Structure 1
């Protein structure tokens, strides 16, 4: 599987060696508040999540969830991905970053690069994004990526209405 690079970042396909990182990332209070509790309590839980949720996306689509790594020191700082998501007809872009790396442009840089690359390499130029009504930083980033609010949606097996954005 291919990795991608920007001026400051490496986007590496998520794999088993990233279990400890995803355990930390997915248990951040803001992740649980805005994205949801994925019930990862151990590295084994995280490894199984990677195997069962991330790997099938790569096998099916050729792309999926990437660990975002700083080029300068190889530090894992977040994740960005484009997914086929139940309840959405259009591929969905998502991102999450450790708190220490928010507000530095890394989310935009990695998400823009992935969105552009997937469009060029795979022809997927129509992308969607979802976020909670109170996640204003994500709303701002989604709009900066060129997506426009279209409607409210409720995903299967969920109860919360989410804001749905899509490219033109």
Structure 2
């Protein structure tokens, strides 16, 4: 299996998903407001399938979603990572801050670190973020990361989405 490398920031540890992270994923997918950007509410069994597929993504693509934790506390605070399932236009960087962890800057900190890893360790030359229309918090974060709206397209799983283009590696130095 392809293990997720550990990424450290000033405050965070981004690590591979483990079985105990599922409860936070299930709670996220049970919330109709929070889950809208990831396809909406899923029953617990389908949330399990999403979780398992995100772990399998590491094996198939060599990258995926990391679990965000604070240093010194292994509680899952969110996820952030690189996602490119069948039907996606290209690899994207995505993020979620779980309930109780929003407004602490962890999604920005994690996404900055994941993007740097994608460019330096994986050799990516571009990244996008696919954001459902109306997800103003996610749009604000993408723009804070320097991403610019590029186009609207039809995502095979999500319907209409807005593709935000992140700055190329050379633009970040």
TM-score normalised by the chain length of structure 1: 0.86
Kindly state the Cα deviation for residue 38 of structure 1 after the two structures are TM-superposed.
5.4
Kindly state the Cα deviation for residue 157 of structure 1 after the two structures are TM-superposed.
4.8
Q: Deviations over 1:59-103 (max 9, x none)?
A: 122220111111133221111110113443321111111232111
Q: Check the 8 A contact 1:8/1:72 in 2, yes or no.
A: no
C-alpha distance in 1 between matches for 2:114 and 2:92:
12
Structure 1 unmatched runs, 5+ = none
C-alpha distance in 2 between matches for 1:131 and 1:101:
20
- The aligned counterpart of 2:165 is 166
Q: Check the 8 A contact 1:25/1:78 in 2, yes or no.
A: no
After TM superposition, the runs of 4+ consecutive aligned structure 1 residues lying more than 6 A away are: none
Q: 1:40 to 1:56 in 2, by over 3 A?
A: same
How many pairs align? 164
Q: Deviations over 1:23-54 (max 9, x none)?
A: 11222232233332352325xx5444322x11
Structure 2 unmatched runs, 5+ = 168-173
1:37 counterpart = 2:36: no
Kindly state the Cα deviation for residue 114 of structure 1 after the two structures are TM-superposed.
0.7
- The aligned counterpart of 2:12 is 9
